[in-house]
Amino acid sequence: MLVWKDILQPVSFLLPKESAVREALACLDASKAELLLVHEEQQGVVGYVDRHSLLRQIHASGSILGRIEYNKDMLKVPANSPITFYHNISVVLGIDPEGGIAGYIGTQEAKNQLSRYKLEQLNHIFNSSGIGMITTDSSFEITFMNETAEQILGLPKSVLQYRNYKTLLTLDKDLEEVLSGKQLLSVESSINYKRISGNFSPLYENGKMVGIVHIFSPRERLGEAVNELEFVRNLSDDLQAIYSQENEQILVVNPDGKIIRIAGTFLREFWGVDQPEQLIDNDVYQLEKAGTFYPNIADLCIAQRKKLSMIQESQNGRMVWSVATPVFHGERIEKVVILSRDVTGIHILRPELEIAPRKPKEHESELEDTLSKTDHHRKLIYRSREMERLVEELKHIAKVDSTVLLLGESGVGKEVFAQAIHDFSQRKREPFIRVNCGAIPENLVESELFGYEKGAFTGADQKGKPGMFELAHKGSIFLDEVTELPYSTQVKLLRVLQEREIMRVGGTRSLRVDVRVIVATNQNIRELVRQGRFREDLYYRLHVIPFEIPPLRKRPADIIPLAIHFCKYFNNMYGMEKVLTREALHALEGYAWPGNVRELQNMVERLIATVRADSIGAQDVLGNLYREECFARESRTVVLDIMPLKEAVEEVESQLISLALKKYGTASKVAKILGVSPATVSRRMQKRLQ
């Protein structure tokens, strides 16, 4: 920005107020100045005279001997102040900080200098940007051209200036239209065999059209720009497709906390608005203050100047897993990019499983090895639709006391489901007793389940002991691995289910028990009945409400929420602050998990315990999940049915791209791993999304 001192002329002579016209003319001739400042000893500079005003005075008086009449339309301004023009002021006098005269200038000359400065700046901008500029008068004679125009056309200014531009150009448009006020955009033309493309616009001066201005670039450069824009557009579409498919939202926040961009899957339920445009230009600090979400990961990322990941919660209870990455320009943070995925489905049915079975204090130590201990990190966590339907059914059946049979592979979380059934029932404030039938020695099963009287057998406690069913009175009992019960014990369990009575070992009287029975198995119980290893009548008594829990591989949407939960749990357990990166989560999500939730839990614990860095990446996960022999074995394609060869190839391509995207995250990495171009990956992805 220009200030007055940049254009002021130095004061070489001050004309005394008492000077005659003849003396003033002589001084003007000697100094070759356009005007002279008039000085008065007491007041300092009081005005100015110029040749025009002196001649006017001579014409009026007819003499050159009279005292000068000076002009007073002069303004004193600080020399360091910005250039501003004032009405009815012809001369500006600059005053330095000490109060002295820094210089002077006529307003018309100041305007001319300012115009020249602006033109130089504009010319510099055009030259720096590689854009040519040519101006003409109303007769199409070239009046100005910048250096870039000379370079593009291969002709110097001395050759082209003042020549008729209309006759030099080869184009299909009529330049006369521009003089009528019309603008011609993206016009292709040529001069000196140079093909150019640009805009023709009317050139105005003081509101009057005085010619045209042509702004142009080489046509080949424009083609490169168009191709680059097309590439960027395609890349943007590809990224949009990837993140939409992954159900991830991209949020870009500037260093001041203002939201400048949103892409991917818009998490409208988290934000509480319908369209992403409603959030653009909003301040994340104000949104946090208003309670829209907490914590403010953008603020924490800017403050700590490093990548962060955490769960954010909205005021309506929605939760998202967010990863914030700062983008630096030199040492300065230019923006923060936040990737978020809705993990509200992590529907946590209970904050903690606060089970404390109501049992006689004297029996606690005896039952310690048999009863399952309270596991406070075990929560019913889910996000998939399959689990959502299952939980709704669970809530419904929990209201009645019918026997429930939980079926599912080992590690799917049958015990957690049993706990949830108890928690949603009317018995939730009563004991919940867990029994692993496969962990009790066969000769002790009956006494552990039903208790024994004093002296019932050698080694028995002289006071006797209540069994699991007695301890679960008024509450619920969970019999895990029920198919491991000895055949003889199955008869007594059938009697309990039918009569709601038990008899202790060595006892002579029956005891009434009011118990909700929940059993579970990971075996095919029908096949065991067919083989004669499980009583058919007991099977039908247990098979009142069968409840099949799907394996983790059939509900992959639950993998990331569970991994995040286990990460938080083990961090708290071991006093650590480790995080799973987005790539690590995708690697976990792409695995089949034959051991289900239990295997996932163990894997996360292993990663927390063994990875030394605070950030757990995809390579850490893959290094623990796979071994060389596993890669060799699992990388082979298995064909299970006959299909057309073309369809088979497309199916293999689709699966490979899907797995690679989950493991490596970006199209460029996928293309490198699969040995194809990014464009090929993009086309395959687009086809999958159709």
CATH code at 202?
A: 3.30.450.20
Per-residue exposure over 601-638, b if at least 16 CB sit within 10 Å of its own CB, e if not: bebbbebbeebeeeebbbebbbeebbeeeeeeeeeeee
Give me the sheet containing 516-521, strands edge to edge.
Answer: 432-436, 476-480, 516-521, 404-407, 545-548
Instruction: Tell me what percent of the residues of the chain surpass a pLDDT of 90.
Output: 23
- The rounded distance, in Å, linking the Cα atoms of 584 and 347 is 22
Q: What is the pLDDT of residue 403?
A: 93
Query: Which residue from 657, 651, 622 is spatially nearest to 637, judged by alpha carbons?
Result: 651
Are residue 402 and residue 523 in the same domain, yes or no? yes
Is the pLDDT at 439 greater than 80, yes or no?
yes
Query: Which residue from 688, 685, 682, 686 is spatially nearest to 668, judged by alpha carbons?
Result: 682
Question: Tell me: the pLDDT tens digits for 480-497?
Answer: 999 999 888 888 899 888
Are residue 439 and residue 540 in the same domain, yes or no? yes
- pLDDT mean across residues, the chain: 81
Residue 228, domain member (yes or no) = no
DSSP code of residue 372: P
- The rounded distance, in Å, linking the Cα atoms of 135 and 204 is 11
For residues 442-453, give the mean pLDDT: 86
Residue 123, domain member (yes or no) = no
Please report the sign of the dihedral spanned by the C-alpha atoms of residue 204, residue 206, residue 207, residue 209: negative
- The rounded distance, in Å, linking the Cα atoms of 464 and 508 is 13
With residue 465 as reference, give the H or E element that holds it: strand 465-466
Q: What is the pLDDT of residue 624?
A: 83
Are residue 202 and residue 314 in the same domain, yes or no? no
Looking up residue 531, the CATH number of its domain turns out to be 3.40.50.300
Is the pLDDT at 684 greater than 50, yes or no?
yes
Q: pLDDT tier at 383 (50, 70, 90 boundaries)?
A: confident
Domain with 53, as residue range(s), is: 4-113
Are residue 310 and residue 328 in the same domain, yes or no? yes
- Lookup: tokens for 432: 């919940």
- The rounded distance, in Å, linking the Cα atoms of 17 and 48 is 10
- The rounded distance, in Å, linking the Cα atoms of 257 and 273 is 19
- The rounded distance, in Å, linking the Cα atoms of 590 and 559 is 9
Residue 503, domain member (yes or no) = yes
DSSP code of residue 482: G
Q: pLDDT tier at 597 (50, 70, 90 boundaries)?
A: very high
Please report the sign of the dihedral spanned by the C-alpha atoms of residue 672, residue 673, residue 676, residue 678: negative
CA angle 289, 295, 296 (to 5 degrees): 70
- The rounded distance, in Å, linking the Cα atoms of 670 and 622 is 15
Q: pLDDT tier at 682 (50, 70, 90 boundaries)?
A: low
Q: What is the pLDDT of residue 298?
A: 92
Residue 349, domain member (yes or no) = no
Helices (H) and strands (E) in the chain, counts: 27, 28
**More confidently predicted of 344 and 296:** 296
Query: Which residue from 605, 619, 612, 599 is spatially nearest to 665, judged by alpha carbons?
Result: 619
Are residue 558 and residue 613 in the same domain, yes or no? yes
For residue 452, with 0-12 CB atoms within 10 Å meaning exposed, 13-18 middle and 19 or more buried, which class applies?
Answer: buried
Residues 6+ apart with CB under 8 A from 290: none
Residue where a domain stops, chosen among 550, 569, 586? 550
Q: Helix, strand or coil for residue 267?
A: coil
Residue 213, domain member (yes or no) = yes
- Lookup: tokens for 581: 């990166």
For residue 438, the one-letter residue type is G
Are residue 526 and residue 415 in the same domain, yes or no? yes
Check: CB of residue 75 under 8 Å from CB of residue 89: yes
Looking up residue 16, the CATH number of its domain turns out to be 3.10.580.10
Are residue 102 and residue 164 in the same domain, yes or no? no
Q: What is the pLDDT of residue 671?
A: 77
For residues 433-455, give the mean pLDDT: 86
- The rounded distance, in Å, linking the Cα atoms of 562 and 599 is 11
Q: pLDDT tier at 356 (50, 70, 90 boundaries)?
A: very low
Residue 355, domain member (yes or no) = no
Question: Tell me: the pLDDT tens digits for 131-153?
Answer: 888 999 999 999 888 888 888 88
Check: CB of residue 271 under 8 Å from CB of residue 262: no
Residues 6+ apart with CB under 8 A from 655: none
Question: Tell me: the pLDDT tens digits for 608-643?
Answer: 999 988 889 888 888 887 643 344 344 445 554 566
DSSP code of residue 486: -
Are residue 281 and residue 304 in the same domain, yes or no? yes
**Cis before 295 (ω within 30):** yes
Question: Tell me: the pLDDT tens digits for 491-543?
Answer: 889 988 888 898 888 877 888 999 999 999 999 999 999 998 899 999 999 99
Q: What is the pLDDT of residue 546?
A: 93
Please report the sign of the dihedral spanned by the C-alpha atoms of residue 257, residue 262, residue 267, residue 269: positive
Is the pLDDT at 405 greater than 90, yes or no?
yes
Strands 501-502 and 451-452: unpaired
User: Based on the structure, what is the number of domains in the chain?
Assistant: 6
Are residue 202 and residue 281 in the same domain, yes or no? no
Q: What is the pLDDT of residue 32?
A: 82
Are residue 388 and residue 497 in the same domain, yes or no? yes
For residue 385, the one-letter residue type is R
DSSP string across 493-559 = HHHHHHH-EE--BT-SS-EE---EEEEEESS-HHHHHHTTSS-HHHHHHHTTEEEEPPPGGG-GGGH
Residue where a domain stops, chosen among 64, 80, 113? 113
Residue where a domain stops, chosen among 592, 607, 634? 634
DSSP string across 180-216 = TT--EEEEEEEETTEEEEEEEEEEEETTEEEEEEEEE
Are residue 325 and residue 454 in the same domain, yes or no? no
Is the pLDDT at 236 greater than 70, yes or no?
no
Residues 6+ apart with CB under 8 A from 101: 11, 37, 45, 93, 94, 95
**Bridge partners, residue 521, by sequence:** 407
Q: How far apart are the first and last CA of the chain?
A: 55
Are residue 543 and residue 449 in the same domain, yes or no? yes
Cα separations (Å) of 689 from 234, 245, 685, 686? 15, 8, 6, 5
Residue 87, domain member (yes or no) = yes
Residue 241, domain member (yes or no) = no
CA angle 247, 248, 249 (to 5 degrees): 130
- The rounded distance, in Å, linking the Cα atoms of 92 and 69 is 19
- The rounded distance, in Å, linking the Cα atoms of 517 and 538 is 13
Residues 6+ apart with CB under 8 A from 244: 264, 265
- Lookup: tokens for 79: 């020399």
Please report the sign of the dihedral spanned by the C-alpha atoms of residue 393, residue 395, residue 400, residue 403: positive
Check: CB of residue 580 under 8 Å from CB of residue 617: no
Q: What is the pLDDT of residue 539?
A: 92
Residues 6+ apart with CB under 8 A from 30: none
Query: Which residue from 429, 404, 415 is spatially nearest to 542, judged by alpha carbons?
Result: 404
With residue 314 as reference, give the H or E element that holds it: strand 308-314
Question: Tell me: the pLDDT tens digits for 285-312?
Answer: 999 888 899 889 999 889 888 888 788 8
- The rounded distance, in Å, linking the Cα atoms of 333 and 543 is 62
- Packing angle between helix 645-664 and helix 667-674, nearest 10 degrees? 130
- The rounded distance, in Å, linking the Cα atoms of 376 and 354 is 7
Looking up residue 624, the CATH number of its domain turns out to be 1.10.8.60
Q: Helix, strand or coil for residue 579?
A: strand
